[in-house]
Amino acid sequence: MPQSRSGLTSEVRQNGFAMPASPVNHPVFARLWVLMSRHEPNEIRSHRDELLAGLSGRVIEVGAGAGSNFAHYPATVEDVVAVEPEPYLLGQARAAAARAHVPIEVVDGVADELPADDASFDAAVASLVLCTVPDQGRALAELHRVLRPGGELRFYEHVRSDRPGLAFTQRAVDKMFWPRAFGGCHTARDTPGAIAAAGFELEQLRRMWVNPVPVVASHAIGRARRR
């Protein structure tokens, strides 16, 4: 199938631009997210450095948001294809890409149907996005598909707490209101477990307490390899 430089299939592109691919639209949450991103604490910035350290070759990032990771990519990265479906965040990410020191192409698309060919990337990045995808298993299957054999998945996500009482609260708020209020975010997902179940081998995993809001405070950062 014909490809652009980025590896995107020509079927989702016309005249060099990505065609609209998603009905995702969270205008209020998107603006709130951008505001929070502009005042991101140093702790989270350091986690972004940790997430991306040592990456090289061609990288696909899903759920790029406002492009908060872009300034943290190391110079060893050849180029990045950043996928973002929300219209306001898409514009913010493109502006951030223009300021980045590595080549970044921001395209409209969703995690469960990535606009890229099989085995076309050396690494993939998922950062604070796997909580929001409607079908986490399908999104991870897509990441597995577009990575070359042996390719690496880097992830930084808030996850289900290992404290039983808090995990119960997370499940409750997910059922009551949280995803509807916060752009599809689910607080109680066992994302490391889902990554392993999707055919990745977990090589590194570190859990931490980050956010002052308890239901989204339990985070995991790590690396997994496509088998």
d(CA 62, CA 69): 11
Other beta carbons less than 10 A from residue 157's beta carbon: 21
The strand order across the sheet containing 218-226 reads 104-107, 77-83, 57-62, 121-127, 147-158, 218-226, 200-209
Cα–Cα distance for residue pair 24/90, rounded to 1 Å = 11
Residue-wise pLDDT tens for the chain (227 aa)? 333 334 554 344 433 434 444 577 777 888 888 888 888 889 999 999 999 999 999 999 999 999 999 999 999 999 999 999 999 999 999 999 999 999 999 999 999 999 999 999 999 999 999 999 999 999 999 999 999 999 999 999 999 999 999 999 999 999 999 999 998 999 999 999 999 999 999 999 999 999 789 999 999 999 999 98
Residues 164-181 pLDDT 10s: 999 999 999 999 999 999
Q: What does the alpha-carbon distance between residue 64 and residue 152 come to, in Å, rounded to a whole number?
A: 17
**81 - beta bridge partners?**
60, 105
pLDDT digits (tens, 9 = 90+) for 121-173: 999 999 999 999 999 999 999 999 999 999 999 999 999 999 999 999 999 99
- Name the residue ranges covered by the structural domains of the chain: 10-226
Residue type, 88: Y
- Residue 2 DSSP label: -
Taking the alpha carbons at both ends of the chain, their separation in whole angstroms is: 24
Quickly name the fold that domain 10-226 has.
Rossmann fold (3.40.50)
Question: What pTM did the predictor assign?
Answer: 0.87
Q: What one-character-per-residue DSSP string does 20-80 give? A: P------HHHHHHHHHHHHT--HHHHHHHHHHHTT--EEEEEE--TTTTTGGG--TTEEEE
